[in-house]
Amino acid sequence: MVIQAPISEPPTEPKWQVIVRLLRWDKPAGRLILMVPALWAIFLAARGAPPWPLIVVIIIGTLATSAAGCVVNDLWDRDIDPDVERTQNRPLASRALTVQTGIMVALVAFACAGGLALYLNPLSLALCIAAVPVIIGYPLAKRFFPIPQLVLSIAWGFAVLISWTAAVGQLEPTAWLLWGATVLWTLGFDTVYAMSDREDDQKLGINSSAIFFGDQVANAVGLFFLGTIGLLTAVGVWANLHLGFWVTLALGTGVWIWQYVRLRQAEIPQLTYGAIFQQNVWVGFILLGGMILGTLA
């Protein structure tokens, strides 16, 4: 008689690891790319020398806010994500976590962000409060608004306004130029990110800028990046930034041109979209270094 060994169950993922995935802390690129415009703003507003406690508040605040936004997104999309290849294994989509747990995690993340916001001045605090409806409403936009990435871009833009006012207590012309650059940059890289989901989104009737621009989506991304370059140039002139900034802007421009050329190809490997998203994280930090260097005499 042959005795069969018992079939072992696959190891159960610890709940804390599932929550980490819910918060997207296992994918730092998406967290860092929100942190970038916030750091752009605080270093430019403070001419390269913001107080370290404020830098820490901004960094932790962006982490908490982006985490809260991810959980809210997954709560709204828990019945859609299972039908999208890229998102079907998210904790709420796969039912690895309950809706109640998701709501509790979102509330804790918002509470952490809110507690940090109390450290800021009244104008910055008011902007933090104004950003909340945009963050919560973004996942709904894809259901009725043809370019939901614009809503996300406006949410990203709040990182500039909040950080700038946190540093100097007011919104100056350069802040609005930087806000515009951030909105267009976000529209560019998030449209690229959405290109990987086009087939699934069309089946589900979900809107995205990648679908809205159709065959001209690569040209649209190119125009968004071109507008970003123009507005960052205006930031450099208005803020009287020095050589370090212009060198990094030239590098960033070269990367954006190369990305546009890649998107114009007839055959685009699926991994290209995620790679371009990752590259924009590095471009953002390179530009941050240039902004800091550019403020030095």
Q: Is 135 contained in some domain?
A: yes
Q: Tell me, what CATH number does 118's domain have?
A: 1.10.357.140
Indicate whether 2 belongs to any domain.
no
The pLDDT score that the predictor gives to residue 9 is 44
267 in a structural domain: yes
Domain count, the chain: 1
| pLDDT, position 297 | 57
Residue 274 lies in a domain: yes
Contact call for residues 175 and 45 (beta carbons, < 8 A):
yes
The answer to the question of residue 83 being in a domain is yes
Please provide the distance, in angstroms rounded to a whole number, between the alpha carbons at the two ends of the chain: 85
- The domain of 46 spans 15-294
Q: Is 8 inside a domain boundary?
A: no
pLDDT at position 110, please? Answer: 93
pLDDT band at 26 (very low <50, low <70, confident <90, very high): confident
pLDDT over 90 at 130, yes or no: yes
Report yes or no on 112 lying in a domain. Answer: yes
Q: State the DSSP string of 104-134.
A: HHHHHHHHHHHHHHTTS-HHHHHHHHHHHHH
> Which of the four pLDDT bands, split at 50, 70 and 90, describes residue 15?
confident
pLDDT higher than threshold 70 for residue 123 = yes
| Residue 6 counted as domain residue | no
State whether residue 251 is helix, strand or coil.
Answer: helix
In this predicted structure, the answer to whether residue 43 has a pLDDT above a threshold of 90 is yes
The per-residue pLDDT for range 202-214, each reduced to its tens digit, is: 888 899 999 999 9
**Residue 5 reports pLDDT greater than 80:** no
Residues 6+ apart with CB under 8 A from 69: 135, 138, 155
